[in-house]
Structure 1
Amino acid sequence: MRRLFRNELDSHDGWNLLHLYRAKTKITLRKTGLILCCLILTQLTVRAQHSKYVRIFHEYYDEKPVHFGFLFGFASTNFSTNGDRAKLGADSIVQSPRSFGFQIGGLVNYSFDKHFELKTGMNIALYERQISFPLSPLKPDLNPLTRESTWLEIPLLLKYKSIRRDNHRMYVIGGVKLGVEANVKKKSSALSANTSDISLEYGFGLERFFQYFKFTPEIRFSHGLTNLYVQPTTATNSFYNMNYLKSHTVSLIINFE
């Protein structure tokens, strides 16, 4: 009996030890699994933070009050026209087709704060504007009046910038521009016009900061406020009967600072 009882105790203790070992093994596996999960989550978090990291260029750019740069641009320009219908004729057609121009110059920016900025500078622009009097929409004028000239331009513009997001921000701009005609290409078909102009300008653009410079593409609209029309001394063509001539330009300007 004693031997049988001891055998039963020994077998019972063996089962208890086996269950205890299994329980400890399960606990160890759970702990190991939790540790592995924590390590994986930590690694994913670190990678996510690393992938979201963006290097900020020129972080204290707005703290400097004055910035210098240069620009070049491409322009589409023409004249806004009008004429005396009693003299031109009710069925007369006056057109000013668009032509391309080029702009290059230097710029200076004066920062008031992180949102407002005064922009000025001096540009040299090459424009060619035309006036034509076609007989009909299907019969273009083969000998339009042309004014091909070089302009010296001084803009005075107020710029409002949005909040900077990493390395870029949007802005709007508006103001006036003084233009003085410096040189006119003489042609037999050249039209006469005033040599100075004041324009209303407005537009929008994007500032993009890079490691060594700031890249700023801009769309700008320009509407002349000055009547550039000068009546010829002799009535050689229909241009003599006009009374209104103002400039109109749309420009794509690339600024570097």
Structure 2
Amino acid sequence: MIKRQIALLICLLLSLLTLSAQRYNVGEVPNLVNSDNKSYHFGFILGLNSLDFNPFQSGEVLEDGKIWYGEDINFEVGFSIGIISDLRLAECLDMRFCPVLYFGERTLRFVDKDGNEREGGDVSVKSNLISFPLLFKIRGQRARNVRPYFIGGFAGTVAVGRDKEAPIMLKATDYGPEIGFGFDIYLPYFKLCPEFKAFFGLSDVINRDRPDIANANDLKFSGGEAGGKGVFSKLSSRIFAISFNFE
């Protein structure tokens, strides 16, 4: 409940900032005419995110004689904060390092081929992540006080605050490409940059080494029984984020 209230508050704040920023794009006088010529600059990130799983089903017959399937069922909105370190490489090209802390939660539902759900219900996976992306920002032509851009690069993530007693536990690290786009809005004293980006994890994030789980019913969901993969042959992670960068 508290997370949702914070997310709604951030959403309202960002909407007000966007409406305020639009009025500065009217007229012929450009703001911050030399801001893009700086060798480097810093900023911070405030935004919303949705953490997601991309499940690959194993289709194995498990020890209970059933084939189970798992899916991410809820669209949960979390919030994120981060910092920006930007290095100018050329007229339209920057390199930036933007560590971001994502707060979120994902829910997995397991059903067998007959539609029966897992005993114990859905599994909540708390997913607080720190992302370390190295990105390249390609900027378009500036029009008055707005300039579009595209970003792309590679990121590594670290899971923090994992619940080690839950049936599903994630590995500590992941990696993958990160892409996105946004707009630099030049205000009188700073740049406000609405941005959308997506991260696509490449590794299998489910921790299959779970000697701590004695319950056979949980073991098949947590990563597999002896000699098998369990419900998932692979479980990859995705992050979709809408943020406002203050630079």
Q: TM-score range by the shorter chain?
A: 0.7 to 0.9
The structural deviation recorded for 1:230 is 1.9
- Kept in 1, the 8 Å contact 2:133–2:153? The answer is yes
Check the 8 A contact 2:61/2:67 in 1, yes or no. Answer: no
Q: Which runs of 5+ in 2 are unaligned?
A: 1-25, 225-229
Quote how far apart the aligned CAs of 1:225 are.
1.2
Task: Call closer, same or farther: CA 1:95–1:149 in 2, change over 3 Å.
Answer: closer
Using the aligned pairs only, state the percent identity. 25
Within the alignment, does 1:155 sit opposite 2:129 as a pair?
no
SS in 2 for 1:62: helix
Deviations 1:98-143 (A, max 9, x none): 3222210111111112210111132211121222113579876672
Q: Find out whether 1:174 has 2:152 as its counterpart.
A: yes
Question: 2:128 corresponds to which letter in structure 1?
Answer: T
Task: Tell me how far 1:84 sits from its aligned partner.
Answer: 2.2
Moved more, 137-146 or 166-175: 137-146
SS in 1 for 2:29: coil
Establish whether residue 249 from structure 1 lines up as the match of residue 242 from structure 2: no
Native 8 Å contact 1:144 1:189 kept in 2? no
Letter in 2 for 1:211: P
SS in 2 for 1:236: helix
> Hey, what's the Cα distance between the residues in 2 that align with 1:53 and 1:81?
50
Q: Unaligned regions of 5+ residues in structure 1, if any?
A: 1-51
Determine the C-alpha separation between the residues in 2 that align with 1:63 and 1:137: 62
| Residue type at the aligned position of 1:144 | D
Which one has a larger percent helix, Structure 1 or Structure 2? 1
Question: Is it true that 1:128 corresponds to 2:128 in the alignment?
Answer: no
Whether the 8 Å CA contact 1:152–1:179 is kept in 2: the answer is: yes
| 1:219 correspondence with 2:185 | no
- Structure number with greater Rg is 1
For 2:217 and 2:39, how far apart are their aligned partners in 1?
55
Contact 1:151-1:180 within 8 A present in 2 as well? yes
Note if contact 1:146-1:190 (Cα within 8 Å) is conserved in structure 2: no
1:64 maps to 2:38: yes
Q: What amino acid sits opposite 1:228 in the alignment?
A: V
- Whether the aligned pair in 2 keeps the contact of 1:143 and 1:189 (CA below 8 Å) is no
Letter in 2 for 1:209: Y
Pairwise CA RMSD of aligned residues?
2.4
1:1-257 → structure 2 map (5 Å cutoff): 54-87=28-61, 92-97=68-73, 98-134=75-111, 143-185=121-163, 189-231=166-208, 232-233=210-211, 234=213, 235-237=216-218, 238-239=220-221, 240=224, 241=230, 242-257=232-247
Q: Distance in 2 between matches of 1:63 and 1:251?
A: 28
When structure 1 is superposed on structure 2, of 136-145 and 229-238 the one drifting more is: 136-145
Number of residue-to-residue matches in the alignment = 205
Change (3 A) 1:53 1:255: closer
1: distance between equivalents of 2:57 and 2:127?
A: 23
Give distance in 2, aligned partners of 1:90 and 1:100. Answer: 33
Q: What CA deviation, in whole Å up to 9, does each residue of 1:178-216 have, x standing for no partner?
A: 111222245x54412211011211011111000011010
* Deviation sequence 1:126-180 (CA, Å, 0-9, x none): 1212221135798766722222142222110111000111111111111111111
Q: TM-score, normalized by length of structure 1?
A: 0.72
The answer to whether the 8 A contact 2:57-2:69 is kept is: no
- Judging changes above 3 Å, is the alpha-carbon distance between structure 1 residues 166 and 149 closer, same or farther for their aligned structure 2 residues? same
- Bigger shift: 192-201 or 140-149? 140-149
